[in-house]
Amino acid sequence: MQHALVTGAGGFIGGHLVKHLEAQGATVRGVDVKPLEEWYQVSDSAESFVADVSTQAGAEQSVQGVDTVFNLAADMGGMGFIENNKALCMLSVLTSTHTLVEAHKAGVQRYFYSSSACVYAAEHQTSPEVVPLKEEDAYPAMPEDGYGWEKLFSERMCRHFEEDYGFVARVARFHNIYGPEGTYDGGREKAPAAISRKVAQAKLSGDHTIEIWGDGEQTRSFTYIDDCLDGILRITASDITEPLNLGSDQLVTINQLVDIVEDIAGVKLERRYKLDAPQGVRGRNSDNTRIQKLLGWAPSITLEDGLEKTYHWVYDQLSA
């Protein structure tokens, strides 16, 4: 890998990936549909420009002269956004389609697609004491409505491009990636950033209350961004043709997540539960057996350490 393209470079994971690839010695082009001033990170040394890769013209322009494509572009957010914007989430299939077609036409050597744990059927995620999800649990298919269907369909496109055209495509199923330099308000943020924001606001304002969506007993695992970046590069460079889970297997309730952030902030808050808010599945965790066996990857950063970095970054943004 010498010349890489990152789509969605103005987003949370994409911005981190651009800098990580440059640190590995790659020349990087980053594109995003958002104006540059709205990108979370813009590398001074990368080639960065605005392009809409959900169009054929934007995708064709973006893939020229690169040997590796990392497709992270998608219209998505946290559970509140996903549950209320199913059509927008489904339209990301245009991004997957055009980047695959144009990358193949341009002779790109490797293509990475960022899928999601939302491809897994809800029937496997009905209890907080959820059995960790294995890759084969995606079938028979009944993924998260909207966002999950688009991700699963795009996974299949990657598979068939490899089978029919010999095009090298690799897929990772992300499990709740979090960290600094990302969305922490506005409706698209995920739980670690949202809770970090709420705790920081409570500390700054002196109003020691916090709203929690649901009863707080729903469970998730959360993956720090540095572990995600390491996993992306390992999967992209591998010969593994099937999708792989890329996530932490450290399962916590949302109430426990709040406990951790409270301890970091040095506050104790009164909890107010919004039971009619979007909650998603009751429990979700990653089974990392396959990626550990095949690629030797496992998370290296604990939830406590990752949340400490995330909380302090969010706190600094709010206090500034």
> Count of CB atoms within 10 A of residue 150's CB?
28
Q: In sequence order, what are the residues at sequence separation of 6 or more whose Cβ sits closer than 8 angstroms to the Cβ of residue 297?
A: 230, 231, 234, 246, 288, 291
Alpha helices, DSSP H only, in 143-279? 147-165, 191-205, 225-237, 254-265
Q: What is the DSSP letter of 238?
A: S
Residue 139 annotated in active site: no
Q: What is the DSSP letter of 28?
A: E
Rounded distance between C-alpha atoms, residue 73 and residue 280, angstroms: 22
Backbone angles phi, psi at 177, to 5 degrees: -80, 140
Rounded distance between C-alpha atoms, residue 41 and residue 292, angstroms: 31
Tell me which of 147, 184, 224, 311 is the catalytic residue.
147
287, 298 contact by CB (below 8 A): no
7, 32 contact by CB (below 8 A): yes
Hey, which residues are catalytic here?
147
